[in-house]
Each structure stands twice: as structure tokens, then as C-alpha cells.
């Protein structure tokens, strides 16, 4: 089941909301973190890098606590978000 959470940060008295979820992509062993349409892969417990880190030289990253709550995000990407098709079973299929 897809888990969607609403997280927020306060920066200079401005509240910034993010919808985050961990998605299951068909053919992938691990789930991906999705924030505002961009996907992140977990490289060590609670640390996530953009899935386009190497191919698009993207430095976006995120960090979650041990409960999966977003505690840090650098959501500045060098590319558009990937496109996915969601199947009837809730699996995500990446569209090339």
C-alpha cells in the first residue's frame, strides 16, 4: 500500500509543504522516495539521493528519520521529474 505523508518546513517564516511517498517501481527491489514528482533512492539508511544523480549531475537529496518522516530536503533538480504509469495494483512503471 502506498504511504503518502504531508511534511512541512519553516524557512524564514514561510511554511513549505511537501507531499512525500515511498513508491514501489515494477522491476526494482527497493522502494523509491517521491517528493513533488521527483524520485530518490536510498543509499544508506535514512539518506536519499536523486535517482538522476549521475546521469543528470543532480545534487538533490533528502533525509528521513528512523520513522520515515522527512527531516531534510534539498529539492533543487537539474532535470524534469520522471514520468510514471500507475497500474491497477498500485505498482509504478517508469515511462521512458
Which domains does the chain carry? 3-95 (2.20.25)
**Secondary structure letter of residue 29 according to DSSP:** S
Note the pTM of the prediction, 2 decimals: 0.73
Residue 7 has pLDDT above 80, yes or no: no
* C-alpha–C-alpha distance, residues 20 and 33, integer Å: 7
pLDDT of 67-76, one tens digit each? 777 888 898 9
pLDDT of 13-41, one tens digit each? 554 445 566 776 766 777 788 888 899 99
Of residues 82 and 2, the one with the higher pLDDT is 82
| Percent of the chain whose pLDDT exceeds 90 | 28
Amino acid at each position: 500500500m502506498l504511504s503518502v505523508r504531508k511534511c512541512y518546513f519553516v524557512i524564514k517564516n514561510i511554511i513549505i509543504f511537501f507531499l512525500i511517498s515511498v513508491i514501489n517501481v515494477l522491476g526494482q527491489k527497493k522502494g523509491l522516495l517521491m517528493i513533488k514528482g521527483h524520485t530518490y533512492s536510498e543509499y544508506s539508511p535514512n539518506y536519499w539521493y536523486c535517482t538522476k544523480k549521475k546521469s543528470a549531475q543532480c545534487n538533490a537529496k533528502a533525509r528521513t528519520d528512523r520513522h520515515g518522516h522527512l527531516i531534510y530536503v534539498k529539492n533543487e533538480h537539474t532535470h524534469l521529474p520522471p514520468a510514471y504509469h500507475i497500474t491497477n495494483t498500485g505498482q509504478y512503471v517508469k515511462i521512458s
